[in-house]
Structures are given as C-alpha cells and as structure tokens.
C-alpha cells in the first residue's frame, strides 16, 4: 500500500481578471487528514479544490505533496462534485469501473461497501439521487486516491440521505485513509467529519479550527453543538 500523502501550499495567488480570489495563501494539510473548507459563496473554496486537483493553474505559488508514494509517482487525485456526473449510457457498475482495466471484482466489492449490492446492472436513471452519489463515491474511491476532493457532494440530498452518505464516507475513509478535502456550506457536516475546519475569505484563511473529538461524533453532543454555534456566529459576522 502506498504511503499517505499530504500537501503544502505556498504563496498561492489566483484571480479571474480583475477579481482577486487568493493572495499569498499558505496552508499545510497533514497526510491522511480530513479537512473541510467553509466560507461565504464566492470566497474561493471550490476554486481552491480545482487548483489543488490541477483542473486550473494558479497565477502564482506552489502546491506540493508532503510525503511520498511507495512507487514515487505523483499523488493520484479524484474529484467528486455535487452533481453525480454519471454517464447515462453506462450501468452503475460500469460507471464505477470507468478508466479501469479489468478489476471487476474490486468494483463489485466497492459497490457492496457503499450499499449498492444488487444495483450493479441498473442505469443511472433507475437510481435515486442518494444511490447515484454513492456510485460517484465508489468511482472516486476505487482508484485509492492520495487526495480526494469533495465539492459539496451531498448538497442536493435530503437530510436523512445526507447523514447516511456522511457516515458512509467516514467509514470508508477510516478503512482506507487518504487525504480528504471537503467544500461544504453545512457547518454541522464539517464538524462531524473533519479533523480541521478552515474558513476561507478575503483572499486567504480566516480561521483554522482543530476538531479534537472522538469518532464517530454524535450530532447531539453538547461540545459539538457549542462549536457549531460559535462557528456559525463567526461566519455570520
């Protein structure tokens, strides 16, 4: 198994025309950690994920791996979006296998792990929204990525399905650790899942909060509720 890889961001600057997004952003993300990014809309949370995942090139600065894979290859990166982005002409299993050479058994095992055993031959149109997101999660995880980027992946789900998806993600991450970066507007989701919550705004990091609570975390926990109230208050102001 490859060693878990973190990342280091130094002097990151990015803009769209005259609109500045980041200005000399420095950030360290530990190998195997689960980090959530919060902030108002338009502050650059999703842009940061796109820069890290190389979907966009920064205007200035460096994003470097911390640690090294056993095979010395660059970190593998997978991105999961709010839209499931499944190919409608491929079955659920075929979507999970996308880009693989064989490894059907691995895909079947992961389909079972995400609770979709027996749904392998269904088309995306035959699946619920929550089931499609679980297929998308399986597709992202089957390559055992070093960096898993999650851009509001559960934002469109109903409350109960969202909690179930969060628990599934946490269980799979604990079983096979990788470095996870989650963009979310849900403060409770960030606190329940993350080792750190980073608030982005004004071109940089406004807050960097460590969540030192045992897992699994209970939403009714008094300490968690107090942290949620404090974080919401700071975000509002």
pLDDT band at residue 49 using 50, 70 and 90 as cut-offs: very high
Give pTM, 2 decimals.
Answer: 0.92
The overall average pLDDT reported for the chain is 92
How far apart are alpha carbons 65 and 201 in whole angstroms? 24
pLDDT score of 26 more than 80: yes
Average pLDDT over residues 217-237: 89
Average pLDDT over residues 152-170: 91
Average pLDDT over residues 169-190: 94
pLDDT score of 120 more than 80: yes
pLDDT band at residue 71 using 50, 70 and 90 as cut-offs: confident
Q: What is the pLDDT of residue 87?
A: 95
Taking a C-beta distance cutoff of 8 angstroms, is the pair 140, 79 a contact? Answer: yes
Average pLDDT over residues 13-27: 92
In the structure encoding, which two tokens stand for residue 220, read together? Answer: 């009714």
Q: What is the pLDDT of residue 1?
A: 47
Beta strands at 204-210 and 196-201: parallel, antiparallel or unpaired? antiparallel
163 in helix, strand or coil?
A: helix
- Which overall architecture, per CATH, does domain 6-76+144-236 show? 3-Layer(aba) Sandwich (3.40)
Percent of all residues in the chain with a pLDDT value above 90, rounded to a whole number: 74
Q: What is the pLDDT of residue 68?
A: 83
Q: What is the pLDDT of residue 2?
A: 58
Q: What is the pLDDT of residue 102?
A: 61
How far apart are alpha carbons 193 and 150 in whole angstroms? 12
- Hunting for tokens 């980090």 — which residue is that? 35
24 vs 14, 60, 106, 165, 198, CA distance in Å?
Answer: 9, 8, 42, 35, 16
pLDDT band at residue 98 using 50, 70 and 90 as cut-offs: confident
DSSP 8-state class, residue 70: T
pLDDT band at residue 229 using 50, 70 and 90 as cut-offs: very high
Domain-by-domain residue ranges, the chain?
6-76+144-236
- Hunting for tokens 């010395």 — which residue is that? 72
């Amino acid at each position: 198994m490859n060693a878990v890889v973190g990342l280091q961001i130094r002097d990151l600057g990015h803009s769209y025309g005259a609109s500045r997004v980041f200005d000399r952003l420095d950030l360290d993300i530990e190998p195997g950690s689960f980090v959530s990014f919060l902030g108002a809309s338009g502050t650059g949370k999703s842009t940061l994920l796109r820069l890290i995942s190389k979907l966009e090139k920064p205007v200035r600065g460096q994003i470097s791996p911390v640690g090294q894979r056993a095979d010395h290859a660059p970190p593998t990166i997978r991105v999961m979006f709010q839209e499931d982005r499944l190919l409608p002409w491929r079955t659920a299993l075929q979507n999970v296998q996308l880009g693989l050479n064989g490894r059907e058994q691995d895909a079947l095992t992961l389909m079972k792990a995400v609770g979709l055993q027996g749904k392998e031959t269904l088309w995306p149109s035959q699946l619920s929204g929550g089931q499609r997101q679980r297929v998308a999660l399986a597709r992202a995880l089957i390559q055992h990525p070093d960096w898993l980027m999650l851009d509001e992946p559960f934002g469109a789900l109903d409350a109960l399905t969202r909690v179930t998806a969060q628990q599934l993600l946490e269980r799979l991450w604990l079983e096979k650790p990788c470095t996870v970066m989650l963009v979310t507007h849900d403060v409770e989701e960030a606190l329940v899942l993350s080792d750190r919550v980073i608030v982005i705004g004004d071109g940089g990091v406004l807050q960097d909060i460590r969540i030192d609570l045992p897992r699994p975390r209970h939403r009714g926990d008094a300490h968690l509720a107090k942290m949620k109230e404090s974080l919401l208050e700071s975000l509002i102001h």
